[in-house]
Every structure is written in structure tokens, then in C-alpha cells.
Structure 1
Amino acid sequence: MNKQPLTLLASYVAGLLFSLGLAVSGMTDPARVVGFLDVAGNWDPTLMFVLGGAVITTFIGYRFVLKQPAPMLAGRFALPSRRDLDTKLLGGAALFGVGWGLSGYCPGPAIASLGGASIPLLAMLATMVLGWLIARRIA
């Protein structure tokens, strides 16, 4: 049986659920992220609760899913095997954090916000793609 159409459908549904969750939780509003980072001013704890919900859901879900012999639409699980921290990982994480803090967007909410595109959003997406291209060149 060809699983490619089912895999495509499952990917679409997962992306749709993810973007709906971001929209419902208000995470497509960059002011929420900036408000979370403003611990000395008008702090907004919303992001902490959204992240907490995601961590709890993932913690429970992984325990159930990884007891299965294989994923439903793949031959095996594709889990990361590296556990070391290197300069590239730490540098990339720092750059990601700085970009997130400056723009208020991370890639998921930025793409989910494309329906109401603004100049700051498009600038963030353009620089994200540029950073990705530069990283591929120097990797």
C-alpha cells in the first residue's frame, strides 16, 4: 500500500492543528512574546503556560507512541542520536533566541501569521531564509 498520500494528509492535519493552536493561544501575536521577555516591565506569562502545555502533551505522547513497534506511516522512528553540544548548536540557538526576542516571532507562528502579513513579519521571514541559506553554505 502506498502510504505517501496518507503521510501528506497527516502532515497537513498536524500543521493545521499546530497553527490553530498557535492562533487560539495568541502566540501569533509578537507582542505576547515580547511581553514574556519583559520581566522588569509589563510581564505576560502566557507563553510560559503555552510551552508548559506543549511539554506536558509531548511528555505523555512520547511515552505512548514510543511503545509502538514503528510509526503508523513510516518504517521506523527517526529520533535524534547525537547528544553532544557543539559550537554550531549553541551559536545557532543563541541566534535563534536573539531573532525571536527582537522580532517576537519564531518560525511556526511567523508562518501561521502569513494570512495577515505585515512588513515586520515579511522582514523576519526574509532574514530567516537568508540565515538558513548562509548556514547551509558554511555548514
Structure 2
Amino acid sequence: MRGAAALLAGLLFGIGLAISGMTSPDKVIGFLDITGAWDPSLAFVMGAGLLVAAPLFLIARRRGAALSGDALGEPAEQTIDAKLIGGSALFGLGWGVSGLCPGPALIDLFIQPVQAGAFCAAMIAGLLISRRD
């Protein structure tokens, strides 16, 4: 049941990204280009996502569990340290340079496998490095 719920959530997320055009690196880079030909459509997509997700998060918080019954995934460590800031900076840099973030990159593996493949390889490398102690 848990796997089916995760699959459904991932499919809905991917379909939303595809419909909104957010799998296109050019669209994302257009959003980040605030001094040039700025494209605000990504802000509307994020806003719509917040409108849908916020009530569900409130319900889950009141219940003390996700709708699937799983515990809420709040991080145990909540301090802001150099590792968090560095990782966030690298994520933002990668997003800005490539126009891809993890969700769209996985979808783009089927659309433009060379560019998305390089990004996904770097993303996996970063994940493995972050798990080192």
C-alpha cells in the first residue's frame, strides 16, 4: 500500500511538471533570469503546489501522521551548519546552470537523456558524498 501511494504521488508530481512545462530547462532558466526576459510561470506553479499541499500538511500535523499512516518526516537535526549551507549553494548552482532540479531531471532522462543523464550522475555523486561521515 505504501509503495502504491508513493508511486501515485510521484506520477501526479511528474504529470504536473510535464503539463506545466517545468521539465524544460529553458523554462526554469527563464524564471531565474530576473534581470532579462523573466518568465514568472514557475512562481505560479509553485504557488498552486502550496495551495494544494498546505491543507494536507495541516491535516497530517493534527493527526500526527501522514495520510498513509507513516510518521511525518521531520529532520532530527535542525541546526544550520556549513554542510547545509554548502549543499544548498551547490544545489542552487546546479539548478541555475543546468535549468534542472531532481524531479524534472528524472522525467528528462526519457526526453533528453544526455543532458539529464549528466545531471543525474552529478546528483547521485552529490548524494553519495553527502552521506559520508
**How far 1:75 sits from its partner (Å)?**
5.2
Q: Once the two structures are superposed, what CA deviation does each residue of 1:19-52 show, in whole Å capped at 9, x if it has no partner? A: 0011011110000111011111111111111111
TM-aligned CA distance change 1:75 to 1:115, over 3 Å:
closer
The sequence identity of aligned pairs, in percent, is 43
Q: TM-score, normalised by structure 1?
A: 0.85
**How far 1:71 sits from its partner (Å)?**
3.4
Q: Which has the larger radius of gyration?
A: 1
Would you identify which runs of 4 or more consecutive aligned residues in structure 1 move more than 3 Å?
69-76
Is there any run of 5+ residues in structure 1 with no aligned partner, and where?
1-5
TM-aligned CA distance change 1:34 to 1:64, over 3 Å:
same
TM-aligned CA distance change 1:129 to 1:78, over 3 Å:
closer
Task: Give the corresponding residue for 2:46.
Answer: 51
Task: Give the corresponding residue for 1:3.
Answer: none
The root-mean-square deviation of aligned C-alpha atoms, in Å, is 1.7
Q: TM-score, normalised by structure 2?
A: 0.89
TM-aligned CA distance change 1:54 to 1:90, over 3 Å:
same
Equivalence map 1:83-102=2 (5 Å) = 83-102=78-97
**Which of 4, 11, 26 is the aligned partner of 1:9?**
4
Task: Give the corresponding residue for 2:29.
Answer: 34
Task: Give the corresponding residue for 1:23.
Answer: 18
- Taking the aligned partners of 2:66 and 2:36, their CA distance within structure 1 comes to 45
**How far 1:135 sits from its partner (Å)?**
2.2
Counterpart of 1:83 in 2: which secondary structure? Answer: coil
Task: Give the corresponding residue for 2:66.
Answer: 71
- Taking the aligned partners of 1:18 and 1:48, their CA distance within structure 2 comes to 16
Is there any run of 5+ residues in structure 2 with no aligned partner, and where?
none
Counterpart of 1:16 in 2: which secondary structure? Answer: helix
Counterpart of 2:63 in 1: which secondary structure? Answer: coil
Q: Amino acid of the residue matched to residue 91 of structure 1?
A: G
